[in-house]
Structures are given as structure tokens and as C-alpha cells.
Structure 1
Amino acid sequence: MRLTVRGRLTLVYGGLFVLAGLVLLGATAVLVSQRLPNVLAKSERTAPLPGVAGDLTETRQYFEASASGAVSTLLSQGGIALLVVSAAAIALGWLIAGRMLHPLQQITATARRIADAPDADRGLHERIALTGPDDEIKELADTFDIMLARLDHSFDGQRRFIASASHELRTPLTLNRTLLEVALTQEAAPEQVRQLGTTLLAINDRHGRLIDGLLLLAQSERPVAERSYVDLADIVDHVAVSDTVKVITEPGEATVSGNPVLLERLVQNLVENGVRHNLPANGWVRVRTGSRADGWAVLEVSNSGPVVPRYEVPGLFEPFHRYGTERLHASGAGLGLSIVRAVARAHGGEARADARDEGGLIVTVTLPRAL
């Protein structure tokens, strides 16, 4: 059982109170036991007790017994009083500790809401805004708010930079493509110029796909505001096609609430990734959709292909990451799986990949099912 800070503070305060009470009670008993016989003897010399005044031994025994009884009564009654007061002090300490720690609970609740957000930057707009005395706890809360504000500004600036840069780069790429196409349509152009133009067009197209991917990635990392009723099986029916490898579809009902364009791009990216990283002959891609009893819709895309080491799998979801020599020779921009994960998280889901022992991958996307 985990003991909370409130419980530990209560035990410490209560234990110190009981210890101080025991020390005080013991010291009082010792002082009383030392002083009481002298006080009683002095009283006897000034006013002898009837029946024992002539017997000094009996008088001394009488006063010693009286002193011992007084000390015993002090210890027993004092112990009971200490027990009652200690119980009240512990209960009061529990209430005071709870009140003192309430601001920390508010900080913890805010941090937990931010941590439970679907994306790392989804809840950074929240603030603790703690009120109260200007003490160490309020200083902690204000520092936490400043950190959240800076992180929120940083993430927002990053998204705006990606979107703005991508839009700005579209214009020169479009102009380059137009000029190259015009140059290639001229019949007097030499063969070397045509080959160079074709190569430049391919490079231009690759840069265009990169920019489109960055735009989509920036869009996917924002919350999905407008949602529609979408069945992943319908998307699979018209997206899961290929002219180079065999595509096997097993569509089952998998209804979700989300952005149809983003969800279609998610499925398309997975299919294209399975087709691109496949075997040169007898390759295949299998696409399955369905619903689980625990309230999740599942999209699974598996493919044949080269063996991928398991330690390489987590990095495949990072932007611009490609496995092996594909970094230099692949036609993609290296954003396919990054976009898949971003779209899944924007819809409250998750994407994971597992390496097949025979080669290739199994990518599974789980999304909250729409009822």
C-alpha cells in the first residue's frame, strides 16, 4: 500500500506530538516523585497526622506510599489525557496537511490532464493559475505555468513554420515544373536536354511530394475539429489497389468518427508503404479492418518484403527515416508512417508496427469505434 505525502506528514506530526507528550509526562512524573515526599514531610512537621505522629517510621512509610500513589495516578491519568489529546492532534494534523497540500493536488491534476492528451502539445494551453499566498507552492505553480506557455509557443511556432515554409516552397516548384515541361515539349531540344529535363522533373516531383507530406503532417498534428461518420472498410475498398504486387483485402465493419480526408490518407500511406517496400516478385499486401469488443476499430496492413530487424521498427515512424539503403534510393519522402501515426493520434488512436519473421511488417492502427 502506497503511503501518501499527506499520510506521512500526519504520521510525522502525530509521532512528534506523542513523543513530546511522553517526554513531558515522564519528566513531570520524575519531578513530582522527587519533590512530593519533601513537601509531604514538611507538611507533617507543621501539622502531624493523627494516630501516627509519635511513630516516625510509620509516618515516613505513609508519606512514601502517598507519594508513590500520587505519581502512579499522575502517570495513569496523564497517559489517558495524552492519548485523547494525541488522537485529536493527529486528526487535526490530517486536516491541516490536506489543506496545505491541496495546491499540489491542483498542480498534479493539471499535469495529468496534459500528459493524458492524445498528442504531446494538445493540452499545453491549460494553466494552473493558482491563487493564494505568495509562498513556495505558488512559486512552483507559476513556474509551471511559465514552462507551459513557452512549450505551447514553441510547438505552435513549429507548426506555423512548417505550414508557411511548405506553402512558400510550392510556388517555385510549380514554376520549375512549368518551365521544364515547356522545354521538353520543344521538338528542337537535344536528347541530352530531354534526359536532363526528365531527371529534373522527377526531382521536382519528389520535392513536391515532400512538401505535400510536410503540409499533411502539420495538419495531422492539430486536433480534428470537424468529424464525420467513416467506415474504414469503405476506404479500403477503393484505396487498397496496386499494379505491381497482389493486394488482399479483408474488409470488416470498422466505423470511426473523424476526418475522411485524413483517414483516407492514413490507409493510402499504409498500402503504398507495403507496396513500395516489398519483394520484386510474388509480393503481396494484406489489408484487414474490423472492430474489437473493447470499443476499438482496427486496421491492419501486412506485407511481404525484406527482413527488418526489430530494433529498427520504432524508428520507422520518425520523419525522414528509412531503413537501410532505401534512404538514398527510395522514391518516397520518408513521411508515410509519420503521417500515419500523427493521423491516428489526432483521432485518439495509436499506430504500431511489428516485424514479421519471414520479412516485411505488420502495421496495426487502432481508433476509437463510433457507435
Structure 2
Amino acid sequence: MIRNVRRWSIRARLSLTFGALFVLAGLAMMVVTYLLVQQSLTTGQTNKTMLVTAPIQKSGGGTEKFVVDGKPMTAAQLKQALVDQQRAYRAATLDSLLTRSGIALAITSIGAVGLGWLVAGRALRPVHRITATARRVADRSLHERIALRGPRDEIRELADTFDDMLARLDRSFDSQRRFVANASHELRTPLAINRTLIEVAMARPNAPTELTRLGENLLAVNTRHERLIDGLLTLAHSDHGLTTRTDVDLATLVQRAVPATGDRSIAVVTELAPAPTSGDPLLLERLVRNLVDNALRYNTPAGSVWIRTEATADTATLVVENTGPELADTDLGLLFEPFRRAEGDRTRSATGTGLGLSIVRAVTQAHAGAVTATPRAGGGLTVTLDLPTRPAPAT
């Protein structure tokens, strides 16, 4: 029971607390009132003259008798009857007091709980605003602020502290993104110059065989560095957030990616159903291409890749499954980290940059989606991507 109460909202618990305190105060008032009325009735019984509500007549004869409601009584009997009448009146008064007070307490307690619900809701309204802002910031960007107005109470201080934290995080992430973008742009120029010089040297007539072989190795290294820089730019762009949204079909993106990254030694089986979503077409195309390329690169000789797209009322899903080496559960958490690979693939990915799945996760988060990786029975990996079919409201 206590565990279930802890799952209730703060508003419900505050309302019940207000109601319980009101009931306790009402019960205490009832007990005090009951004791005071009881003492008053007891004092009145001993100090006041006895009341007779029925007409009394005195009969003739030697013994004094009284007639009450047509019944003859002696003085002692009349006195006892009056005492019993007072006791009954006192008991009826106390019972009526308890009954009416209980009904009044029940009605006012219901009203107190309802009033407590309204007051708690009004008091917690700024907290709900802070929570809603935190959710929107977590889903999109750090540019939004709470900007709570009102008296400088504890909730206002909490909102202002949260705004200051968002401002510091926003400046930190912006600085990081600018550094990555600027560094990547600056590195592209010398790499392009290196590529040109190497190609010119290799194109000379009568170039030595050693020079040609060295030039091919240098071009391969240069290509890998260019892909690394391109991946860093994509990460910086996806972390910056989406500026425009366009309707995109994941099935169409898969059809484009499979011929571009296809490996004829690996069988690619597709089962493509319409999976419409919305977002940045270039980022989503890079996401799908990275998933397909990752499934082909980290595979076994003459292996297979299965790609499936489907959609529900609110989710577009892409599933990429491949054969390959067995992966431990501890390796799955490293796959989406930049420059991190599964332990068994460190020496097999000389052409990779270690940013493929990192870009996938960053682009997915920018589109308010979710991506998960699970080991496949018999070896390999199953990556499931879920994107919303409707665009999220712009901030």
C-alpha cells in the first residue's frame, strides 16, 4: 500500500495530506465539543430544577400523589421519572451532536480535498512548466529557457538556476561544435592539396614503381582522413539541430544506399515497405548509408545482410541485420561511441573511421528517434532504428 502511494503524483499526495490534516483537526474539534457539551448537560442536570413536560395534577387523599399523562405517581416515582427523562434527553442530544458533526465533517472533508487539489495544482504549475521545458530541451536544443515570472520564491530560484545551467551548457556545446566544424574545414584544405600533389606525382611519365606504390598507400591514408573529417562535420551538423524538415521515405533511402555501398560477395536481402518520416534528407541518407555500410564491412566472407523497413501509425522502422562475429553485451554500449569499436573489430577496420554508428545515433537523436543494437543469434548484429512518422513541433 505504501509503495502504491509513493507512485502517486505530488499533487495527489498533497491533496490527500491537506484532507487528512483537515479530518484530524475536525475530529479533534468534535471531541472537544462533545466533552464540553457533555459537561454542560451534566452540570445543568445537578444544578438546575427538574423540568416536567407533562401536565401534573394533585389527587386527594391521605397520600400525596401526582398524575402524569394519566398515570398516578408518588413523589419518589415522579422524581425518578424526571431523572430518567433528563438522562434520555442528554443521550439524545449527544447522539444528535455526533451524527450531525460527523455529516458536516464528511462534507467539509470532501470539499477540503477538492480545494487542496486545486491549490496544489496551482502551486505546482511552475514545476510542470519546468518539466515540460526540460523535456523539450532534451529532445531538441538547448536554446529554450523557462523564464519564469512571479515572486522570487523557491520555485523561481529553481527555474532561474535551471536557466543558468542551460545557458552554460548551450555555450559549452556551441563552442565544441564550432571547434569541430572549424577544425574539420581547416583540415580539408591541406588534405586536398596532398591528394593533388600525390596524383600529379603518380601521373608523371616513367614514374618508378616504388613511387606509384607509395602514392597509392598515401592516397588510401588521405581518403581515410577525408572520410574522418566528413564524419566529424556530419556529427557537428547533426548535434546542431534541424533547421528544416522534408518528407522522406526510409525505403527509398535504402534503395539508394544498397547499390552505392554494395559488396557483391555478400548477399543483401531487402524487404522494403513504405516507411515515411520527416527530417533532413542529407542526414537521413547518411544515416541509412552508414548502417548498410557497417553491416557490409563488419561481416563474414560470403555472409548476408537483411534490411527491412515498415511503419505503424506513429513510427517508421528500419531494421538492418547481418552475419558476423559474435558480440558480447559489453561491446554493444561501445558501438555508438565515437572512435570506439567492438573488441574483435579493431584490426579489421583499417578503412573505417570509428564514427559510423556514432553518426547514426547523433542523427537519430536530432530527429527525435531511437536506435538500438542487439547481438544476433549465431553471430552478427541487429540494429533497429525508430523514427516518428510525424514531425515534432518546432521550438
TM-score tier by shorter-chain length is 0.7 to 0.9
**2:161 is aligned with 1:138:** no
d(CA) in 2 for partners of 1:245, 1:230:
30
The CA deviation at 1:137 is 1.8
Please name the residue that 1:128 is paired with: 146
Structure having the higher Rg: 2
1:306-321 superposed matches below 5 A: 306-321=325-340
Cα distance change, pair 326–95 in 1 and its aligned pair in 2 (3 A)? closer
Cα distance change, pair 160–37 in 1 and its aligned pair in 2 (3 A)? same
1:45-124 superposed matches below 5 A: 58=80, 66-115=89-138, 117=139, 122-124=140-142
**Other structure's SS at 2:373 match:** strand
Please name the residue that 2:186 is paired with: 168
**2:357 is aligned with 1:342:** no
d(CA) in 1 for partners of 2:226, 2:153:
55
Please name the residue that 2:61 is paired with: none
Residue 381 of structure 2: which of 349, 361, 371 is its match? 361
**Other structure's SS at 1:313 match:** helix
Please name the residue that 1:248 is paired with: 268
Please name the residue that 2:11 is paired with: 6
The amino acid across from 2:295 in the alignment is G
The CA deviation at 1:89 is 3.0
1:186-197 superposed matches below 5 A: none
d(CA) in 2 for partners of 1:355, 1:159:
32
d(CA) in 1 for partners of 2:163, 2:115:
32
Please name the residue that 1:19 is paired with: 24
Residue 231 of structure 2: which of 187, 205, 213 is its match? 213
The CA deviation at 1:114 is 3.5
8 Å Cα contact 1:291/1:369 also seen in 2 = no
Cα distance change, pair 9–204 in 1 and its aligned pair in 2 (3 A)? same
Cα distance change, pair 22–180 in 1 and its aligned pair in 2 (3 A)? same
d(CA) in 1 for partners of 2:320, 2:308:
9
Cα distance change, pair 87–230 in 1 and its aligned pair in 2 (3 A)? closer
Cα distance change, pair 96–200 in 1 and its aligned pair in 2 (3 A)? same
d(CA) in 2 for partners of 1:264, 1:95:
50
**2:324 is aligned with 1:305:** yes
d(CA) in 1 for partners of 2:110, 2:133:
34
8 Å Cα contact 2:231/2:359 also seen in 1 = yes
**Other structure's SS at 1:44 match:** coil
Superposed CA RMSD in Å reads: 3.7
The amino acid across from 2:325 in the alignment is P
Residue ranges of structure 1 left out of the alignment (5+ in a row) = none
* Per-residue deviation, residues 5-42 of structure 1 (Å, max 9, x unmatched): 22222222222222222222222322333344334543
d(CA) in 2 for partners of 1:88, 1:369:
45
- What is the number of equivalent residue pairs in this alignment? 362
The amino acid across from 2:338 in the alignment is P
Please name the residue that 1:332 is paired with: 352
The CA deviation at 1:161 is 1.8
Cα distance change, pair 102–229 in 1 and its aligned pair in 2 (3 A)? closer
8 Å Cα contact 2:273/2:311 also seen in 1 = no
d(CA) in 2 for partners of 1:185, 1:346:
44
The amino acid across from 1:112 in the alignment is R
d(CA) in 2 for partners of 1:367, 1:21:
55
The CA deviation at 1:167 is 1.1
The CA deviation at 1:163 is 0.8
* Normalised TM-score (structure 2): 0.75
The amino acid across from 1:303 in the alignment is N
d(CA) in 2 for partners of 1:235, 1:252:
10
d(CA) in 1 for partners of 2:8, 2:343:
50
* Normalised TM-score (structure 1): 0.79
8 Å Cα contact 1:246/1:285 also seen in 2 = yes
* Per-residue deviation, residues 129-153 of structure 1 (Å, max 9, x unmatched): 2222221122222222222222222
The CA deviation at 1:197 is 5.3
The amino acid across from 2:122 in the alignment is R
8 Å Cα contact 2:374/2:382 also seen in 1 = yes
* Per-residue deviation, residues 202-221 of structure 1 (Å, max 9, x unmatched): 33332222111101121233
d(CA) in 2 for partners of 1:357, 1:187:
54
Cα distance change, pair 237–65 in 1 and its aligned pair in 2 (3 A)? closer
Deviates more, 1:340-349 or 1:94-103: 340-349
The amino acid across from 2:383 in the alignment is V
Cα distance change, pair 181–71 in 1 and its aligned pair in 2 (3 A)? same
Cα distance change, pair 134–322 in 1 and its aligned pair in 2 (3 A)? same
The CA deviation at 1:304 is 3.2
